[in-house]
Amino acid sequence: MQRWTIGVDFGGTNVKVGLVADSGRVVRSQVLSSKVFGRPGPFVEGIGRAVTALTQAGGIRISQLRGIGVGAPGAIDCVHGIVLATTNVPGWHRVPLARLLERRLGRPCVVDNDANLATLGEWRFGAGRGSRVLVGLTLGTGVGGGLVCNGRLFRGVSGSAGEIGHMVIHPGGRRCGCGARGCLEAEVGTAAILSMGRRAIRRGAEPLKTLARSAHGNLTPAIIAQAARAGDTAARQIWVQIGQWLGLALASLVNVLNPDRIVIGGGIANAWPLFSPALNHTLDAHAMGIPKRAVRVLRARLGDHAGVLGAAAIVRQELG
């Protein structure tokens, strides 16, 4: 029997709500603004209305839903469905989100960290299908991580496992949002890439300087990637550096976890051809022989739907 799940991807800019079939197809979706719906009260009401609209348009009843999965950025008590604190979205502190949504919609709800769910989504529907030990990495403003072992998220004793973005790879390096220095996130997150880009521009890198000027000085990782593809040596070097930091982090993960697959997604992964040769080279130089031969590093496949599909996948895992 075909069943449906609601997946909610709660991001800093918007909230995506998707009606997902068991096959992994996003049947319908809606996007709400985090500016309007980013606080607990409006969020629950906005999700409630979106679920009603999506199920009606899909010709199904809310009672036919397996449940609702929510991926949120930050610290989550996934056992009780409580958002302890969010990163990049203010106003959330110890919010019992699962209970509030269950009360609003009358269906069970599961809440988890967004990077964990993106990894679980890739395992069930994307580039991680069939993997036994999967490491997932999401590259963007932050660097999220997740671990799926034998089809289940590995959470650790307090539920915080998988914070790959806070592996220290560069002692004394850039300051991280967590308070430490030299975390992977501090070295390869968007802020680090832009800082390297601005430095290259000050040194006269071309065509990076011209491209940034034509974007009214609004430098983005995509512009740095464009400059690198156009032959800018300094811009190319930035992506080589990113690949090297990633390769170092992944080599340690490979040695510790012996995974069969590593899947890398998020907006920064669009620069894959620019950083993956350095990543592979560094991984090859630092990982041990036996685990190195067992692992493949792949680009994530779910793209913009990763959050919604991951949130649907956790409902399947927790509620069957």
Can you tell me which of 36, 57, 178, 288 binds Zn ion, judged by CB under 5 A? 178
| Closest by CA position to 75, among listed 91, 93, 90 | 93
- Residue whose structure tokens are 């999700």: 47
Judged by DSSP in three states, 42 sits in helix
Q: Is residue 175 a contact residue for Zn ion (CB under 5 A)?
A: no
Question: Count residues contacting Zn ion (CB under 5 A)?
Answer: 5
What Rg, from alpha-carbon coordinates, does the chain have?
20
Residue span binding Zn ion (CB under 5 A) among the ranges 20-28, 59-67, 114-122, 172-180: 172-180
Can you tell me which of 166, 236, 261, 305 binds Zn ion, judged by CB under 5 A? 166
Rounded-to-integer distance, Cα 275 and Cα 281, Å: 10
Judged by DSSP in three states, 211 sits in helix
Q: Measured from the CB of residue 299, what is the shortest distance to Zn ion in angstroms?
A: 24
List the interface residues with Zn ion, window 128-157 (CB under 5 A): none
Q: Measured from the CB of residue 176, what is the shortest distance to Zn ion in angstroms?
A: 3
Q: Measured from the CB of residue 144, what is the shortest distance to Zn ion in angstroms?
A: 12
Rounded-to-integer distance, Cα 250 and Cα 207, Å: 32
Nearer to Zn ion, 168 or 319 (CB): 168
Q: Do residues 160 and 75 make contact, with C-beta atoms less than 8 angstroms apart? A: yes
| Closest by CA position to 185, among listed 242, 260, 110, 132 | 242
Rounded-to-integer distance, Cα 51 and Cα 58, Å: 10
Q: Do residues 304 and 112 make contact, with C-beta atoms less than 8 angstroms apart? A: no
Residue span binding Zn ion (CB under 5 A) among the ranges 14-22, 162-170, 284-292, 299-307: 162-170
Phi, psi of 144 (to 5 degrees): -95, 155
Q: Which amino acid is at 192?
A: A
209, 212, 216, 217: CA torsion to nearest 10: -80
Rounded-to-integer distance, Cα 252 and Cα 99, Å: 39
List the interface residues with Zn ion, window 287-316 (CB under 5 A): none
Nearer to Zn ion, 35 or 175 (CB): 175
Rounded-to-integer distance, Cα 69 and Cα 316, Å: 9
Q: Measured from the CB of residue 285, what is the shortest distance to Zn ion in angstroms?
A: 24
Residue span binding Zn ion (CB under 5 A) among the ranges 25-33, 171-179, 215-223, 294-302: 171-179
Residue span binding Zn ion (CB under 5 A) among the ranges 92-100, 102-110, 128-136, 169-177: 169-177
Looking at residue 236, the DSSP 8-state letter turns out to be H
Q: Measured from the CB of residue 186, what is the shortest distance to Zn ion in angstroms?
A: 6
Q: Measured from the CB of residue 185, what is the shortest distance to Zn ion in angstroms?
A: 5
List the interface residues with Zn ion, window 183-202 (CB under 5 A): 183
Nearer to Zn ion, 142 or 265 (CB): 142
Residue span binding Zn ion (CB under 5 A) among the ranges 84-92, 161-169, 191-199, 207-215: 161-169
Can you tell me which of 98, 105, 176, 196 binds Zn ion, judged by CB under 5 A? 176
Rounded-to-integer distance, Cα 260 and Cα 62, Å: 38
Q: Measured from the CB of residue 183, what is the shortest distance to Zn ion in angstroms?
A: 3
Q: Measured from the CB of residue 163, what is the shortest distance to Zn ion in angstroms?
A: 8
User: Which residues form the interface with Zn ion (CB under 5 A)?
Assistant: 166, 176, 178, 180, 183
